[in-house]
Structure 1
């Protein structure tokens, strides 16, 4: 069976679903926020490719220079997300998406392509074993078992920005950093904010709302991070129940 793919554009992004949060009403504010973010990224070479079907099948990548992550490297491309879920698994779609990305990167004469992963399986991160089957290697490592995987075409390798390996901040108040790239973020942050307000828990929210902020982060997983007493707690998006469990509340 030949699969049909759609690359979103400024003209089509409003009329197409984003795969990740298709029908869940509580995430629609996040979907609209993501669409506005995408409109500004397409002119930078950002690619959002999805299956022409109602399902969670997509790959999203961008030139590393304009990718909102604390990673640096010359002429690389960064994969934000590769996701095949539900009944679409087991059809070779992830392989097809990654191969299309690699072919696109080569056609654009880039030095290589990279992705965030980890030694041990972590929520929201790409499976290292899958990428290594395509020749990806560990280009850099960071605390908490994070790894930067890269497929190099010219021998060069990308790396984490040195400040991203700190995983510490000076502020002792409960702090959540949140980015613009994931449709699920707004609802997650709002649940935690509401709980903290109701229970008089000091909370500091830091929006990662520019490329400059993203490149200078004191941690690797650029979408979301929770800090308590200045120490990194998790990059897993927390609803109210997970928040209370993770922080022992």
Structure 2
């Protein structure tokens, strides 16, 4: 009988051997950036766990930290905040692995005396949908445009709910001219997408993008989108508020009337 997957905590001693997001190449720029980010936020209470099968292969990953350090557009002090919840490969889906990781987070929150666990969810890529959290006792307490939901599983019924930041339109105004790419090191996959889009923008559309590197949790919490850690903005309009491929970037640009080799 196959053994159940085991959750292994990542720390400074093992995250080189257990890459958090399935990026195996040790020289991958995004992986190197993520490891530096991990070292910084492990000191602030971040917990990152890899779910390993009996064959030693990764089945999943979860990452969470105290809400005051969240890299999303939220105010969640007093809660553990989940950044990422992944089940790797379709063969590992619908086996309860997501629930196993969520329960571990809730147990950590209880052990630390936190008010509960909070998370941002949506139905698009790069975030888990609300359904899995609702299944495990979370409730929606806030929403933000265009389709983000903030969910919480309370351990302290008297605690105030976490909430999304507001004023999205005001924060977007500073990106009203030209093409801007917002990026960060919180996700190891961002570097590849951001670099490819920046190169394509300049080579194919004659647009030299402004690169905005989010360096701190405070900057992330005050970014122009709830997801915070990645965005592509042109003349004050959000073209993408999560990681997209270069092909998707081309489709968006051409859908807005741009053509390669034209400004």
**Is this a same-fold pair by TM over 0.5?**
yes
Cα distance in 2 for partners of 1:56, 1:205 equals: 34
Tell me, yes or no, if structure 1 residue 125 matches structure 2 residue 130: no
The offset of 1:181, in angstroms, is 0.9
Q: Which has the larger radius of gyration?
A: 2
Map residues 202-213 of structure 1 onto 2, 5 A cutoff: 202-213=208-219
8 Å CA contact retained: 2:80, 2:118: yes
Cα distance in 2 for partners of 1:164, 1:81 equals: 23
Which structure 1 segments of 5+ residues have no match?
A: none
How many correspondences in the alignment? 245
Map residues 79-90 of structure 1 onto 2, 5 A cutoff: 79-86=82-89, 87-90=91-94
Map residues 188-207 of structure 1 onto 2, 5 A cutoff: 188-199=193-204, 200-207=206-213
The CA deviation string for residues 199-237 of structure 1, in whole angstroms up to 9 with x for no partner, is: 321311111111221122122111211212202222231
TM, length-normalised to structure 2: 0.87
- Secondary structure of 2:43 counterpart: helix
Cα distance in 1 for partners of 2:72, 2:168 equals: 9
Decide whether aligned partners of structure 1 residues 21 and 15 sit closer, same or farther in structure 2, where only a CA change above 3 A counts: closer
8 Å CA contact retained: 1:33, 1:180: yes
8 Å CA contact retained: 2:72, 2:221: yes
8 Å CA contact retained: 2:9, 2:47: yes
The match for 2:261 is none
The match for 1:66 is 69
The CA deviation string for residues 2-25 of structure 1, in whole angstroms up to 9 with x for no partner, is: 3222101112222322243235x8
The match for 1:224 is 230
Decide whether aligned partners of structure 1 residues 164 and 106 sit closer, same or farther in structure 2, where only a CA change above 3 A counts: farther
TM, length-normalised to structure 1: 0.91
Which structure 2 segments of 5+ residues have no match?
A: 259-263
The offset of 1:70, in angstroms, is 2.1
